[in-house]
A and B are shown apart, each in its own frame.
Chain A
Amino acid sequence: MKTDRGYRVLTRRSADYPELLAAIHDPPKQLYLRGDGSSRLLSCPAVTIVGTRSCSPYGAQVARRLGRELAAAGAVVISGLARGVDAEAHRGALEGEGATVAVLGCGIDRDYPRTHSALAQRIATSGLLVSEYEPGTEPAPWRFPARNRIIAGLAKVTIIVEARARSGALITADFALEGGREVFAVPGEITSALSRGTNELLRLGAAPLVDPEDVIEALGLEKAIAPRNVLRSEEATRVRKFLADQSASVDELIRSSGLAVNVVAAALVELELAGEAVCAEGVYRLIR
């Protein structure tokens, strides 16, 4: 069914209304859809990736990698278009050329937050923006927890990437557990406040996410074999070895490897282009 403004609506009676969502405690009466993705997307094997908005570079990089690899394996990546982990998960999925769905706590025509309107636009070209609220509904704080039940309800698996002790992402985890879905948490440093929530989930029995393959298996999908780039230079291999132990800045790598500053910089770019390493705030980290 189409509304007068060209948005699609799924009601409980629609054939395409996702089965998994119908199974939760209080499924939404209707879902407004925006974007070129098929409404069947909501019934495909899906994974929810959520986390704190003020994530660390580690959280951002992990969210992006998960989004990319899971989308490449054929999973629909579901998140909430918020800053931080959510946005990175969507971006990763777009990079992996897979489908991604953003569930909003406002009308689907309100790209909230505003800074993500370009991202919303990109999601809409291949995926979907979804909301239970009518188009035009303004964002309000109390709508976001309610929105989280949809985020958790659409997917078989929920991954919490980074969460503080009382993060909204933990609400999503609760909804997922309530609905009998599988919950993964990304382990973090025990000293980091940003990982307090996720580490707590692990203590309570959530599955630690160590390898994206575990999730792919839980969804019943097959891993897409990513062609591993061959590193061209010997120095890049050498620098990679030092990065494997610990993320490091250029200066630290110069000291540990004994290579010259220009050589290290060039090697790191080779690693970045090969998809092996990423940089945030001057610190390089291996992601494979």
Chain B
Amino acid sequence: MLTYALVGLEPRRVEVEAHLQKGVPSFAIVGLADRACQEAKERVRSGIVSAELEWPLRRITVNLAPAALRKEGSGFDLTIALAILAASHQVPFGSLRAHAAVGELALDGRVRPVGGALVVAEGARRAGIEFVLCAAESAGEVALAGVDPVPVHHLAEAVAYMRGDWLPASPPPLSPTGRVPVTCPDLAEVKGQRRGRRALEIAAAGRHNLLLAGPPGTGKTMLARRLPGILPPLAREEALEVTRIHSVVGLLPSGQPLVAEPPFRAPHHSSSMPAIVGGGSGPSPGEASLAHCGVLLLDEFPEFQRPVLEALRQPLEDGVVSVARANGRAVFPARFQLVATMNLCPCGGRGDAAGCSCSAARLAHFREKLSRALLDRFDLVVAMPRPRAVELDGSGEETSALVRERVQAARVRLEAGPPRMGSEARPLLTEAVEKLPLSGRGRARVARVARTIAALAGTEEIAREHLAEALSYRIPPELTST
């Protein structure tokens, strides 16, 4: 019987063989199975008995081939049970050939969903297998891979199906285009902060990385959390890729197998390096990959461990994370949009009327943590001073839906052919490079942002005012110098 093990995001074919011999009844699983996998013994035995099937009182050996590949997790349970049942002639052997299976067994024989069902199903499709037995909750995911899911609730159902006595109810029709109601908070709730809102819109339109800096309580996080709400939905290819990653870590909500909206991840600043970029003994994707095609929000950016921040430079540059571990290496896609928030100093008082009480040395240390190389990855940097009371009284701000329409239109224009530098804008760029501390990378960044601004304005050429606005989002000197 076939199933698939996960190596990173890739399915590896695993053949599950069961052999019954005469001798003292025993049960062994061989083939580099990890602990969760070894414990399958108990679950499989109880499951088979609970399904009112016979547990063969023989010497049972189950082999997971290839033996050299490490197998992890509980997804092999269903396959192992079916293999044993076939070996003891309780399930017709021939029916196993056209099927693969994935699922965990409960002690009462129920079939539970496991992470990575989509990847297993993709492996099956590539091998030309048409049917995949899986938990009912995983049916939607499996169907996405282009194979027919056989959703079973209980091991007894799986056996009945194999014997040809039972057919599963046809799975509910999938609506991959059906949008999940966006749970993201709306921009209309943000009062004032026109500057921040504008930066958010530009970031959304051009997929720019955004850094919001200011004293605590000025609405940095509030704004950042509203970015997913103004992003256009994912394209089909992107959605599949994101779904695969989320499936592997078991994050897919049941009933909504396809992730159609850009994901939003906001790991806490105490997160470890493997949690952010991916890792673990059999490498599994981290937050950076879970945010693929979506938004990675790093709140209190300078509070993250320095190595974690530096490790993010690879995905920010290449859009992938490659993790090498003793048990294999994996490449995870991680093309996310980075949004970060930070205070202007460790005590947070800077930029506020109360003033800052940090010592000069402490401040210098704080700024040193933000390496130039890392700051250079932010196309847009916005300093957010504390708004005055009158600004917070304002009402009738735009809703996310309105902004999203503009973002979508700008994306279409950017894809059709990005706006070109106009003759009015070019001298301004030269002047800016001369007069401001603007590195070569900074210059490229400003040009990129100016393109997006022009696209939002709907023009074919970058005008002088577009470039000037782009320049206003450059890294402010107070973040780098002391």
Contact = CB atoms under 8 A, between A and B. Distances in A.
Are A and B part of the same complex? yes
| Chain B interface size range | 35 or more
Contacts of A20: none
B193 A251 contact: yes
A265 B482 contact: no
Interface stretch (A30-38, A101-109, A131-139, A254-262): A254-262
Most buried by A among B385, B391, B466: B385
B435 A273 contact: yes
Contacts of A249: 195, 385, 387
A149 interface: no
Contacts of A252: 388, 391
B468 A270 contact: yes
B22 to A, nearest CB: 79
A262 B453 contact: yes
B165 interface: no
A266 B469 contact: yes
Contact of B214 (A54, A262, A282): A282
A19 B431 CA distance: 43
Nearest to A263: B465
Interface stretch (B62-70, B118-126, B334-342, B471-479): B471-479
A281 B465 contact: no
Contacts of A113: 364
Interface stretch (B48-56, B89-97, B348-356, B414-422): B348-356
A114 B472 CA distance: 30
A251 B192 contact: yes
A193 B482 contact: no
Most buried by A among B193, B198, B363, B472: B472
B194 A251 contact: yes
B101 interface: no
B432 A273 contact: yes
A56 B384 CA distance: 17
B96 to A, nearest CB: 65
Interface in B452-482: 453, 464-466, 468-469, 471-473, 476, 478, 482
Most buried by A among B363, B364, B382, B383: B383
A57 B356 CA distance: 12
A6 B282 CA distance: 59
A93 interface: no
Contact of A262 (B350, B432, B469): B469
A250 B469 contact: no
Contact of B344 (A251, A269, A281): A281
B118 to A, nearest CB: 43
Contacts of A262: 198, 453, 465, 469
A191 to B, nearest CB: 10
A282 B472 CA distance: 10
Contact of B482 (A87, A251, A270, A281): A87
Interface of A: 53-54, 56-57, 83-84, 87, 113, 115-116, 193, 232-233, 249-252, 254-255, 261-263, 265-270, 272-273, 275, 279-283
8 contacts: A232-B464, A262-B198, A262-B469, A265-B195, A265-B468, A269-B469, A282-B195, A283-B351
Q: Which 7 A-B pairs have the closest CB atoms?
A: A282-B383, A266-B468, A281-B351, A282-B385, A265-B472, A250-B195, A269-B468
Given A249-B195, A282-B476, 15 more contacts: A53-B360, A54-B359, A232-B464, A249-B387, A251-B385, A265-B198, A265-B468, A273-B428, A273-B431, A273-B432, A273-B436, A275-B435, A279-B383, A281-B344, A282-B214
